C-alpha cells in the first residue's frame, strides 16, 4: 500500500500563487466560448447568441463524501468534475467551463494535489470542458473541494424537473445501485485492513462496482443519443441521491404521482452479488444508494417506440396524477409507497462515510 | 456574550432538502438575466447578446479566513458575497448571479445558518445580485463557504491585469490597511476575553476599521463613476492580499515595472491609531494587510486631470518599463523594492488566523 520513498514537496514551500502557477501551467483551452481562463480576477466566456447559460456547484468534503484511505486522489478529482458535469447534462445542456475551489490541510503534499488536479483535468479533457479558474487555500484539517460548472443549452432544449405530465414514461439510463455497492466493498476492505494490515484486498470480483463508486461518468452520451433520436424529455434530474429521492423531486416539482415497477429497475449483476454478500435487498441499493450519476427522466408516451429501442435506457414506470401517490410495485404485485432515504449528507446517519 | 436561551434547531432535524427549502423560500429574483434560480440541477441565466460572461470563486474557511469567536455570522455571509462581487468589479464588470456552497459541522444550528444566509442575501440585495443556487452539506468540523459569482461586461469594457503601459498612472480606491487593523483589534480582544471572560470589549474607538474587517464593501461605485467619467482603466485588480502583492500581479502580467510613493498611499486615521498601538509601521498594513477589497488600477496618463478630481480615488505612482523594477519611494526619498508578503493563506505563518 506504500508508495516508493521519494522527496515530497510541502505546499507551504510554494505559497498560493506558486501552487496555482504550478498546477495550471499545463492547462489548455479547448472551447471557443472560453475567452480568458486562469490568471485574472475572473475568467471570461461567451456563448453563442440565444444560448442559455447554466450554472451548478457541488462540494466534496473529506470525511463526508470521500475517505482518503481508499480514494485515489486522481479518481477523486475526476469524480469532483463528473458530478458537476452531470448536473448540466441533467438540464439537457453541455458543460463548458469549470472553476475549482480547493481547501487543503498541511498533510497534503504538492504531489498529492497534482494527482487530484490531474483527475480534474482528465475529466475536463474527456468531456470537452475548460478549467478556467478557482481558489486554492489552506484548511485546518482534511480537504474540501468545491466545483462550479457553467454550460449552455439552446432555449428550446432546456429540461427542468417540473415538466412531467400524466402518463409520461419514466426512464433511467444505465443501471442503479452500483456506486453504493462499490462503497460497501471499499468500507469492508478498509475494516479488514485495519484489523489486519497484512491483508491483501481481493477486489477483482468487484471491479465494475468499484469503478462506479470511484470513477463515475456523466450522462453525455445519453443526452446526445436522445437529441439524435429527436426525443426531448419532459423532465429530468441526475441520480445523485438514489432513485427514490430523485423521483420524489420530479413528482413534487411537477405536482404529479408515479408508479414504477421493481422488476423493471436496472441493476447490474455485480451489484446483486454485493447485495447478497451484505444480505441487503438489491432494490435498496437502487432506491437509496446514491452516487450513480445516471439520468432519470420522463418522456411523452408517444415516444415509447423510440425510447424502448435506445440501448442503455430502461423504462421503469409512468407518471400518474398527484392524488394517486408515488408507488413502487413489487415483483409480487404489492404497491409500496416511495419514501426518500437517499444520500442526504445532513441527516444523522450511522454510516461514517456518507 | 451569551444569547438569551431559546430553542435552537439542529440541522439534522431538517435534512439537506428541508434546509435548502427553508433557507431559500424568501429569495426573490431581481435580474432579468436570471431565468431559473434555486431548485433544479442547475440555475439558468442569459446575458444580452454580445455581453461577455465573467466567473470567479472564493472560499472562506473557518480557522483560516474567519474565526467564529468574533465574526458574527451575518457579517460573514455578507463578506463571503462581497469578496466575490469584488472580483467581478475588478474586471470592470457587473455581478449578477451567485451560487453558494456551504459545508457545516454539527455545532451550527439552523438559526446560525439563517444568520449566515441573511448576510449573503443582504449583500445580494444591496448589489443587485441574484442568489440562484448552491450546495449544502455537512463537514466533520468547522464551516467552509465557497461562493461562485457570475457577471457580465460589454466586450470593449473588460479590463484585465495585463494591460498596464509605461507611464500609466497607478490608482487605488478608498484607503488601505484598515481591514487588517480591524483584524488585529479583534484578535487582541479575543485574547483579552480569554484571559478575563468578564472583560467588556472597548471597541468604539475602532468602529471604522472593525467594519472594514467584518463587513467590507465591493467597488461598485468606483466602477460606475469611472464609466460615467469616460475612464477605462488599462489594468485592474482588487486588493484582497495587500497592495504589494496586487501591484506585483499587475506588473508581472503586464511585463512592466512601477514606482509608487509612500506619502501618496491613502491610509485612514483610525488605521494609523491601530498601527501606533501595535507599534507597527502603518505602511505595512497597507502593503501587506489584505482584505481591503479596494480596487487597484492603472489609467492612461492623459486621464490625469479627470482621475485626480474623482473623490475616493488616489493616484499613488506610475508604471515604468520592466527593467527599472518595482519600487516604493519612502517619505525620505529612498527607493525600496516591493516584495509581496501578502495574505497568502498557504504559506506558513505565525498568525493563527490568516
A203-213 per-position pLDDT tens digit: 788 999 999 99
Give chain A's domain count.
2
Is residue B164 in a domain? no
Decide if pLDDT at A12 tops 80: no
pLDDT digits (tens, 9 = 90+) for A124-145: 999 999 999 989 999 999 999 9
* Residue among A58, A25, A35, A242 at smallest CA distance from B160: A35
Is residue B29 in a domain? yes
pLDDT at position A345: 53
Is residue B247 in a domain? yes
B210 and B94 assigned to the same domain: no
B146 and B180 assigned to the same domain: no
| Optimal mutation site among B346, B348, B352, interface A, most CBs of chain A within 10 A | B346
Is B152:B46 a contact under the CB 8 Å cutoff?
A: no
Last residue of a domain, one of B124, B157, B190: B157
Tell me the shortest Cα–Cα distance from B333 to chain A, in angstroms: 31
Last residue of a domain, one of A90, A125, A156: A156
pLDDT digits (tens, 9 = 90+) for B104-161: 998 898 899 999 999 999 999 999 999 999 899 999 999 999 999 999 999 999 999 9
Percent of chain B exceeding pLDDT 70 equals 94
* Residue among B352, B84, B327 at smallest CA distance from B216: B84
Last residue of a domain, one of A123, A156, A189: A156
Q: Which residues of B touch A345 (CB under 8 A)?
A: 16, 137-138
A148 and A243 assigned to the same domain: no
A136 and A38 assigned to the same domain: yes
Is residue B6 in a domain? no
Task: Say whether residue B27 is in contact with chain A using an 8 A CB cutoff.
Answer: no
A181 and A233 assigned to the same domain: yes
pLDDT at position B345: 53
Decide if pLDDT at A108 tops 80: yes
- Show pLDDT as tens, one digit a residue, over chain B (354 residues): 344 456 777 777 777 777 878 888 878 899 999 999 998 999 999 999 889 999 999 999 999 999 998 899 999 999 999 999 999 999 999 999 999 999 999 889 889 999 999 999 999 999 999 999 989 999 999 999 999 999 999 999 999 999 999 999 999 999 999 999 999 999 998 888 888 887 776 778 899 999 999 999 999 999 999 999 999 999 999 999 999 999 999 999 999 999 999 999 999 999 999 999 999 999 999 999 989 999 999 999 999 999 999 999 999 999 999 999 999 999 999 999 998 775 555 554 333 333
A151 and A183 assigned to the same domain: no
Q: Which residues of B touch A19 (CB under 8 A)?
A: 346
pLDDT digits (tens, 9 = 90+) for A197-239: 877 767 788 999 999 999 999 999 999 999 999 999 999 999 9
Range of the domain at B134: 11-157
ipTM (interface pTM): 0.90
**Between the ranges A12-21, A180-189, A248-257, where is the mean pLDDT highest?**
A248-257
Domain with residue A118: its CATH number is: 3.30.1330.10
B81 and B138 assigned to the same domain: yes
CB pairs under 8 A between A and B: 244
Is residue A5 in a domain? no
Task: Say whether residue B87 is in contact with chain A using an 8 A CB cutoff.
Answer: yes
Tell me the shortest Cα–Cα distance from A284 to chain B, in angstroms: 20
- Is residue A3 very low, low, confident or very high in pLDDT (cuts 50, 70, 90)? very low
Q: Which of A55, A135, A141 lies nearest to residue B132, judging by beta carbons?
A: A55
Q: Residues of A numbered 104-133 whose beta carbons fall under 8 angstroms of chain B's beta carbons: which are they? A: 132-133
A141 and A229 assigned to the same domain: no
Domain with residue A274: its CATH number is: 3.90.650.10
Comparing alpha-carbon positions, the chain A residue that sits nearest to B109 is: A346
pLDDT at position A194: 83
**Termini Cα distance of chain B:** 24
Task: Say whether residue A301 is in contact with chain B using an 8 A CB cutoff.
Answer: no
B29 and B61 assigned to the same domain: yes
Is residue A345 in a domain? no
pLDDT at position A26: 79
B125 and B32 assigned to the same domain: yes
A92 and A177 assigned to the same domain: no
Is residue A112 in a domain? yes
Task: Say whether residue A43 is in contact with chain B using an 8 A CB cutoff.
Answer: yes
Is residue B314 in a domain? yes
A147 and A176 assigned to the same domain: no
Amino acid at each position: 500500500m506504500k508508495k516508493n520513498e521519494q522527496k515530497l514537496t510541502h505546499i507551504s514551500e510554494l505559497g498560493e500563487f506558486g501552487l496555482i502557477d504550478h498546477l495550471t501551467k499545463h492547462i489548455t483551452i479547448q472551447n471557443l466560448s472560453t475567452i480568458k481562463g486562469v490568471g485574472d480576477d475572473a475568467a471570461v466566456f461567451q456563448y453563442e447568441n440565444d444560448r442559455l447559460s447554466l450554472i451548478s456547484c457541488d462540494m466534496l468534503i473529506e470525511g463526508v463524501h470521500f475517505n482518503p484511505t481508499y480514494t485515489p486522489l486522481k479518481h477523486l478529482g475526476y469524480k469532483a468534475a463528473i458530478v458537476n458535469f452531470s448536473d448540466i447534462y441533467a438540464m439537457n445542456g453541455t458543460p463548458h467551463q469549470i472553476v475549482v475551489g480547493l481547501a487543503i490541510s498541511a498533510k497534503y503534499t504538492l504531489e498529492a494535489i497534482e494527482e487530484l488536479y490531474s483527475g480534474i483535468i482528465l475529466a475536463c479533457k474527456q468531456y470537452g470542458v475548460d478549467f478556467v479558474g478557482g481558489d486554492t487555500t489552506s484548511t485546518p484539517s482534511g480537504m474540501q473541494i468545491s466545483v462550479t460548472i457553467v454550460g449552455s443549452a439552446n432555449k428550446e432544449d432546456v429540461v427542468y424537473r417540473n415538466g412531467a405530465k400524466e402518463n409520461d414514461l419514466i426512464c433511467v439510463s444505465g443501471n442503479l445501485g452500483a456506486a453504493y455497492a462499490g462503497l460497501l466493498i471499499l468500507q469492508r476492505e478498509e475494516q479488514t485492513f485495519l484489523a489486519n494490515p497484512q491483508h491483501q484486498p481481493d477486489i477483482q470480483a468487484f471491479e465494475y462496482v468499484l469503478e462506479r463508486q470511484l470513477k463515475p461518468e456523466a450522462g453525455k452520451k445519453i443526452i446526445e443519443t436522445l437529441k439524435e433520436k429527436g426525443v426531448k424529455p419532459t423532465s429530468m434530474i441526475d441520480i445523485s441521491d438514489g432513485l427514490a429521492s430523485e423521483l420524489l423531486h420530479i413528482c413534487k416539482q411537477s405536482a404529479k404521482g408515479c408508479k414504477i415497477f421493481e422488476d423493471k429497475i436496472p441493476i447490474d449483476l455485480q451489484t446483486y452479488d454485493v447485495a447478497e454478500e451484505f444480505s441487503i435487498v438489491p432494490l435498496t441499493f437502487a432506491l437509496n444508494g446514491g452516487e450513480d450519476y445516471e439520468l432519470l427522466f420522463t418522456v411523452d408516451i408517444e415516444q415509447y417506440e423510440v425510447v424502448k429501442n435506445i440501448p442503455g435506457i430502461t423504462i421503469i414506470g409512468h407518471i400518474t396524477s398527484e392524488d394517486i401517490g408515488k408507488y413502487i410495485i413489487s415483483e409480487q404485485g404489492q404497491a409500496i409507497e416511495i419514501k426518500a432515504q437517499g444520500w442526504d449528507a445532513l441527516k444523522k446517519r450511522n454510516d461514517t462515510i456518507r
